[in-house]
Amino acid sequence: MTSLINKSLVKSKAKNVFSSPWAALGAWIIAILWTIPTFGLLVTSIRPEKDINNSGWWTFFVNPNISFENYQQVLFEGSTTNPPLYQFFFNSLAVTLPAVIFPITLAVFAAYALAWFEFRGRDFIFFSIFALQVIPLQLTLIPLLQLFAKGLVIGDVTIIPDFNITGTYIPIWIAHTIFGLPMAIFLLHNFLRQIPRELIEAARVDGAGWFTLFSKIVLPLSVPAIASFAIFQFLWVWNDLLVGLTFGGGAKEVAPMTIRLAEMVGTRGSGWELLTAGAFVSIVVPLIVFFSLQRYFVRGLLAGSVKG
Amino acid sequence: MFTLALHAARKTPADIIAENFSLLALALLSFGAVIFLIFLLASRTSVKTQEWLKYLVFLVPSILLLVVGLIYPAIRTLILAFMDKEAETFVGFDNFIWAFTIPEITVVLANTAIWVVTAPILSTVIGLAIAYMTDRMNRPAAIKSLIFMPMAISFVGAGIIWKFVYNYQPNDNKPDIGLLSAIFKGLGLTPPNWLLEAPLNSFLLIVVMIWIQTGFAMVVLSAALKNIPDEVVEAAMLDGAAPWKRFYLVSVPMIRATIVVVLTTITIGTLKVFDIVRTMTGGNFQTNVIANEMYSQAFRQMNFGRGSALAIILFVAIVPIIIYNIRQLRLERTER
């Protein structure tokens, strides 16, 4: 688990109040305190149902009974009204992949245009996109949903027809794409601006068109920035509840795991054996992504932290 | 193809996954194919054509999406906020008067205010403390990863994790399975029914937000502390400034702008908090907040007017914070 945080090694050893063992101890105590709730969930999820309901999870260490029955049950056993959780797991994947790929592609394009095309109104457009980050999701939900359900008709003129896509992934993909764009364009623009002007001009002089320039030079150079934003958008979409609830149209066939879990908490408030196992299934994917790509995530976080 | 989902009730999960993934593959492949084709064709056009074609390919799609998907809906919501339930007749400020006078909704606004005051400040203070404690540490990566980890967990997942911590055992004869109740009993105290008792329950939900946001504050503030030149710290030491004084007279002022940015960013996230409340209490027992009420009004009661009015209130609360945030960022840039 490397981290950019290791920079402190290079730093001089100026002592401060906390550079004592006490500071380390304090930090460790907070870190452990921060981890206990998640740890308790994990431990509970691998205990038999009877144990979970009759003793605290901390007694597991004196009485270690391990059972994967909870996972088996929550993942693979559905009911007449509810499919098993593994279907929702795949729904989450099917929601997330395009909802990461689409906005990044469009954002790299727009960032390239705003960084390197010279035209009147460029600064205005860039600033407007930056300002759009102010708009909270909630402000757009109702009209956007109506747009997907009915199309856009002003007077008698149909501007956007009704594509009849309610209850499919398409509205969720489009919604996530739209909501992700302002921040993605902003971050990638800042990155693409840093490509040396000489590099771009040299390629132009050599006769590279704007499209070749993009695919041969700009795109390969922007991979690190794309990676940073991709992790951000991945976590955002995978963990989202609001967009899925609103734009999924309530269809179980497209609902991501967060929706199913939220439903399970509501209807079976006491089924801890299923809730803990289900919750762990849903957080294990972002945790893997997080721990393996933490450096990129932190970089993205430091580059811009306001998200609409 | 788009109607598949409608009569899927009798299909097995495996069938549904297969169908969904064919749609997924189709969507990704056609997206890739369209872009590939556009590039293939566009790069063969003349220099003159490319001068206008480049805008059409690179810039126009994003702008169209943002205009149709963000700007138009935002304006439309502003109009809807002054219309009735079905968005048919103009009702003036009725929806706003409703929001600020009906006791149920004033509780929602008051709760949101409590969230906004407590969650950002506590997350930032704890985050700053950890950042400072680990600033000169040799191997802080493990500690920081553990505290940062909740950032990767969904609000729904966090809600379940903490609901388990707050689990209440009504039956005296059965052992506690909730950690907090067990600790209380261990100390000889009688645990309350955590999530049912206002205003305690709101604070317990706020703890979840703090748990998630502290990692964010810590990472950003850590980076800021690292940027303080060593000479400054050393100069303060040579002047004989006591360690605590050095912290609040040197370190904190040096990273003041970053602290403000962290505070405001968490404030905005807190204003929009929805999943935690919805998962843990459903907004019941006087824990409701504005974003959750906005969702219920708009999509449960189907009252578009009131839902929109609440969204506008949310927006009006956010704008000054963001303007302040941007000003601080500018200030920080010019100072360097």
Nearest-Cα residue of chain B relative to residue A251:
B5
Residue B321 pLDDT greater than 50, yes or no: yes
pLDDT band, very low/low/confident/very high, at A58 (cuts 50, 70, 90): very high
A41 and A90 share one domain: no
Q: Is A308 within the bounds of a domain?
A: no
Inspect the interface and report whether the beta carbons of B156 and A32 lie closer than 8 Å: no
User: Quick count: other Cβ atoms within 10 Å of Cβ A29?
Assistant: 11
Chain B residues whose CB is inside 8 A of the A78 CB are 13
Note the pLDDT tens digit of each residue in B29-45.
999 999 999 999 999 99
Inspect the interface and report whether the beta carbons of A5 and B136 lie closer than 8 Å: no
Inspect the interface and report whether the beta carbons of A58 and B43 lie closer than 8 Å: no
How close are the terminal C-alpha atoms of chain A, in Å? 30
Distance in angstroms (rounded) separating the CA atoms of residues B223 and B205: 29
Q: Is A29 within the bounds of a domain?
A: yes
pLDDT at A268: 55
Of B35, B69, B265, the CB nearest to A306: B265
B45/B322: higher pLDDT: B45
Note the pLDDT tens digit of each residue in A104-138.
999 999 999 999 999 999 999 998 998 898 889 99
Q: Is A59 within the bounds of a domain?
A: yes
Note the pLDDT tens digit of each residue in B259-271.
998 999 899 999 9
Chain A residues whose CB is inside 8 A of the B268 CB are 136, 306
Residue A18 pLDDT greater than 60, yes or no: no
Residue A15 pLDDT greater than 80, yes or no: no
Lowest mean pLDDT among A155-159, B95-99, B147-151: A155-159
A52 and A95 share one domain: no
Nearest-Cα residue of chain A relative to residue B42:
A211
> 3-state SS string over chain B?
CCCHHHHCCCCCHHHHHHHHHHHHHHHHHHHHHHHHHHHHHHCCCCHHHHHHHHHHHHHHHHHHHHHHHHHHHHHHHHHHCCECCCCCCECCCHHHHHHHHCHHHHHHHHHHHHHHHHHHHHHHHHHHHHHHHHHCCCCCHHHHHHHHHHHHCCHHHHHHHHHHHCCCCCCCCCCCCCHHHHHHHHCCCCCCCHHHCCCHHHHHHHHHHHHHHHHHHHHHHHHHHHHCCHHHHHHHHHCCCCHHHHHHHHHHHHCHHHHHHHHHHHHHHHHCCCHHHHHHCCCCCCCCCHHHHHHHHHHHCCCHHHHHHHHHHHHHHHHHHHHHHHHHHHHHHHHC
Domain range for A36 is: 17-67
List of residues 6+ apart from B328 with CB closer than 8 A:
B257, B260, B261, B264
Does domain B96-335 fall into CATH 3.40.50.2000? Answer: no
Q: Looking at residues B244-254, what average pLDDT do you find?
A: 87
Of A19, A26, A90, the CB nearest to B136: A19
A146 and A172 share one domain: yes
A210 and A270 share one domain: yes
pLDDT at A19: 58
pLDDT band, very low/low/confident/very high, at A44 (cuts 50, 70, 90): very high
pLDDT band, very low/low/confident/very high, at A1 (cuts 50, 70, 90): very low
Are B123 and B172 contacting, i.e. CB atoms less than 8 angstroms apart? no
Inspect the interface and report whether the beta carbons of B155 and A136 lie closer than 8 Å: no
A63 and A92 share one domain: no
pLDDT at A7: 42
CATH number, domain with residue A212: 1.10.3720.10
Nearest-Cα residue of chain B relative to residue A247:
B299
Lowest mean pLDDT among A14-28, A181-195, B294-308: A14-28
A174 and A281 share one domain: yes
Q: Looking at residues B87-105, what average pLDDT do you find?
A: 94
Inspect the interface and report whether the beta carbons of A31 and B147 lie closer than 8 Å: yes
A89 and A62 share one domain: no
Burial (CB < 10 A; 0-12, 13-18, 19+), residue A39, is: middle
Lowest mean pLDDT among A1-5, A277-281, B74-78, B250-254: A1-5
Residue B308 pLDDT greater than 50, yes or no: yes
pLDDT at A9: 40
Q: How far is CA A152 from the centre of its chain?
A: 29
Q: Looking at residues B81-85, what average pLDDT do you find?
A: 95
Nearest-Cα residue of chain B relative to residue A152:
B68
Chain A residues whose CB is inside 8 A of the B299 CB are 141, 245-246
Chain A residues whose CB is inside 8 A of the B251 CB are 16
User: Cα separations (Å) of B99 from A290, B71, B102, B115, B309?
Assistant: 40, 25, 6, 18, 8
Residue A87 pLDDT greater than 50, yes or no: yes
Q: Is A244 within the bounds of a domain?
A: yes
Chain A residues whose CB is inside 8 A of the B162 CB are 37
Lowest mean pLDDT among A9-13, A61-65, A295-299, B84-88: A9-13
Q: Looking at residues B231-240, what average pLDDT do you find?
A: 83
Chain B residues whose CB is inside 8 A of the A7 CB are 226
Probe site for chain B from A3, A4, A5, A241 (most B CB atoms < 10 A)? A5
Q: Is A165 within the bounds of a domain?
A: yes
Inspect the interface and report whether the beta carbons of B66 and A178 lie closer than 8 Å: yes
Q: How close A195 comes to chain B (CA, Å)?
A: 18
Inspect the interface and report whether the beta carbons of B182 and A56 lie closer than 8 Å: yes
Inspect the interface and report whether the beta carbons of B280 and A265 lie closer than 8 Å: yes
pLDDT at B229: 87
Of B69, B161, B219, the CB nearest to A298: B219
Inspect the interface and report whether the beta carbons of B314 and A107 lie closer than 8 Å: no
Number of domains in chain A: 2
> 3-state SS string over B228-282?
CCHHHHHHHHHCCCCHHHHHHHHHHHHCHHHHHHHHHHHHHHHHCCCHHHHHHCC
Inspect the interface and report whether the beta carbons of A109 and B59 lie closer than 8 Å: yes
> 3-state SS string over chain A?
CCCHHHHHHCCCCCCCCCCCHHHHHHHHHHHHHHHHHHHHHHHHHCCCHHHHHHCCHHHHHCCCCCCCHHHHHHHHCCCCCCCCHHHHHHHHHHHHHHHHHHHHHHHHHHHHHHHHCCCCCHHHHHHHHHHHHHCCHHHCHHHHHHHHHHCEEECCEEEECCCCCCCCCHHHHHHHHHHHHHHHHHHHHHHHCCCCHHHHHHHHHCCCCHHHHHHHHHHHHCHHHHHHHHHHHHHHHHHCCHHHHHHCCCCCCCCCHHHHHHHHHHHCCCCHHHHHHHHHHHHHHHHHHHHHCHHHHHHHHHHCCCCC
Inspect the interface and report whether the beta carbons of B59 and A137 lie closer than 8 Å: no
pLDDT band, very low/low/confident/very high, at B334 (cuts 50, 70, 90): low
Residue B201 pLDDT greater than 80, yes or no: yes
B247/B8: higher pLDDT: B247
Q: Of A39, A67, A95, which one is at a domain's C-terminal end?
A: A67
Probe site for chain B from A51, A74, A211 (most B CB atoms < 10 A)? A211
Of A19, A87, A261, the CB nearest to B156: A261
Inspect the interface and report whether the beta carbons of A37 and B211 lie closer than 8 Å: yes
Q: Of A45, A67, A89, which one is at a domain's C-terminal end?
A: A67
Q: Looking at residues B283-289, what average pLDDT do you find?
A: 94
pLDDT at B316: 95
Q: How close B103 comes to chain A (CA, Å)?
A: 22
Q: How close A168 comes to chain B (CA, Å)?
A: 7
pLDDT at B335: 59
Q: Looking at residues A153-181, what average pLDDT do you find?
A: 85
Nearest-Cα residue of chain A relative to residue B146:
A31
Residue B133 pLDDT greater than 60, yes or no: yes
pLDDT band, very low/low/confident/very high, at B240 (cuts 50, 70, 90): confident
A59 and A175 share one domain: no
Q: Is A293 within the bounds of a domain?
A: yes
Residue A3 pLDDT greater than 80, yes or no: no
Tell me the percentage of chain B whose pLDDT exceeds 90: 72
Residue A55 pLDDT greater than 80, yes or no: yes
A147 and A187 share one domain: yes
CB pairs under 8 A between A and B: 398
Burial (CB < 10 A; 0-12, 13-18, 19+), residue B124, is: buried
Place of tokens 């008698």: A156
Q: How close A225 comes to chain B (CA, Å)?
A: 18
Q: How close A287 comes to chain B (CA, Å)?
A: 6
A108 and A202 share one domain: yes
Inspect the interface and report whether the beta carbons of A13 and B136 lie closer than 8 Å: yes
Probe site for chain A from B133, B227, B302 (most A CB atoms < 10 A)? B133
Q: What is the mean pLDDT of chain A?
A: 87
A288 and A146 share one domain: yes
Place of tokens 């904190």: B252
Q: Looking at residues B177-194, what average pLDDT do you find?
A: 94
Residue B9 pLDDT greater than 60, yes or no: no
Q: Looking at residues B61-74, what average pLDDT do you find?
A: 96
Q: Is A73 within the bounds of a domain?
A: no
pLDDT at A269: 53
B334/A105: higher pLDDT: A105
pLDDT band, very low/low/confident/very high, at A17 (cuts 50, 70, 90): very low
Q: Is A189 within the bounds of a domain?
A: yes
A120 and A45 share one domain: no
Chain A residues whose CB is inside 8 A of the B209 CB are none
Lowest mean pLDDT among A185-199, A257-271, B213-227: A257-271
Q: Looking at residues B16-38, what average pLDDT do you find?
A: 94
User: Cα separations (Å) of B187 from A59, B56, B122?
Assistant: 18, 68, 26
